[in-house]
Amino acid sequence: MLPKCIEKGKQEVPIQHVIASQRVPVKIWTDDVDERSRAQLANIASLPFIHHHVAAMPDVHLGIGATIGSVIATHKAIIPAAVGVDLGCGMVAARLSLTANELDEKALKKVFDQISRDVPVGRAQHDDNRVLVDAALPFEPGLKSLTERHPQLLKAFGKFSKWTNQMGTLGGGNHFIEVCLDEDDCVWVMLHSGSRGIGNAIAAYFIELARKDMERWMIQLPDRDLAYFPEGTEYFYDYVEAVHWAQEYAMQNRQSMLELVLDALKRHLPSFTVTTEAVNCHHNYVAKEHHYGADVWVTRKGAIRAREGDLGIVPGSMGARSFIVRGKGNPESFCSSAHGAGRRMSRTAAEKQFTEADMALQTQGVICRKDKGVIDEIPGAYKDIDVVMANQSDLTEILHTLKQLVCVKG
């Protein structure tokens, strides 16, 4: 039995715009959406296999082919570029028994330095003598099976052939590790990462295969990045298998990093325990689900699943608040929620507009990098997370509000 949204009675929902010019409508949970993103959403809605409607979350913004912050239900087809290149990217968070009065700035600076040493960030990976063997090796048979059918993948992996060394590593961009306080001054650890270089290589390989299929079948698309695999065709099930492998790898990567971070904290903070089971959720993935009377493939590109009772994480930018949420199971969003604040400007635009002084001001009170290398991640480059949360009051209930103390980025 496929997972199903809880069907509720008629309810007031904050859908702020509907694009009704295509084959199916696009329902948008914000009025902060630019024309290029609207065009992307309309392109998706024009495809013949889209189921019922397209849902755009309040953090929606321009992506490659498909907007980030979109939920796309499809009949018997998957769009690889809509799933994205960081397969299984997501969040994990856990609450600790520590409280604010057991922390001090000196100890937190040591924690920042320790995490930075223990968890490789950016393009770094674990040395051969520090590979997390127990976490990585269970993934070897699945990858071997995939590469036997697609030997070209081995070439595509290139420098990521040492994928075992990337287990338990952060990556760069908007990936982060944070130590936070909630509304009761309880300490949380939270981090954001995905399937690293190996997931990116797998995604890029299949995206290119989908494009070649479109050319071979002479299928005209509004955007070449909307190339798709129809169910039952040559590469469809191999792609589904590869995505599942990468999603599981991403989830284990986050769990392994969480363990490394907890060990780093134990070296500099008073003794503690983890008081809640970790919330570990994807926000770039595809899964088979049941919606509006049909079994469909649901692609969440920068969105989390939010069935009734589902726990999720919606992070703000550095220096802003983040949220632990519980889903309300709203069928109009395909039981989904925003995955974060969402960018309001590109990385290039942020680097041109902001300075290191701006970075220091906007991240005041947070122990983090404040240099030129992370200006593209400045809070001012992102939407207001409080507005995002207000715009999805029908999608999630806020359980905890977190404020960063420490933020480690690639």
CA of residue 158 relative to chain centroid, distance: 24
Distance CA 323, CA 403 (A): 9
Phi, psi of 38 (to 5 degrees): -60, -40
DSSP type of residue 5: P
CB contact at 8 A, 322 and 313: yes
CB contact at 8 A, 285 and 300: yes
Q: Which residues are 343's β-sheet partners?
A: 382
**Token pair recorded at residue 371:** 């240099």
Q: Decide the pairing of beta strands 50-61 and 26-28.
A: parallel
**Token pair recorded at residue 75:** 């009949």
CA distance between the termini of the chain: 41
Residues 6+ apart with CB under 8 A from 259: 168
Residues 6+ apart with CB under 8 A from 127: 165
Distance CA 168, CA 171 (A): 10
**Token pair recorded at residue 217:** 């079948």
* Active-site annotation holder among 52, 282, 291, 339: 339
Q: Which residues are 96's β-sheet partners?
A: 274
DSSP for 83-147, please give it.
Answer: H-SSTT-EEEEEEEEEEGGG--HHHHHHHHHHHHHHS--TT----GGG--HHHHGGGHHHHHHHH
CB contact at 8 A, 318 and 402: no
Q: Decide the pairing of beta strands 90-99 and 77-78.
A: unpaired
DSSP type of residue 343: B
CB contact at 8 A, 78 and 95: no
Q: Decide the pairing of beta strands 311-314 and 321-327.
A: antiparallel
CB contact at 8 A, 124 and 118: no
DSSP type of residue 290: E
Q: Which residues are 177's β-sheet partners?
A: 191, 408
DSSP for 229-256, please give it.
Answer: EETTSTTHHHHHHHHHHHHHHHHHHHHH
Q: Based on the residue annotation, tell me whether 244 is a catalytic residue of this protein.
A: no
Residues with catalytic roles: 339
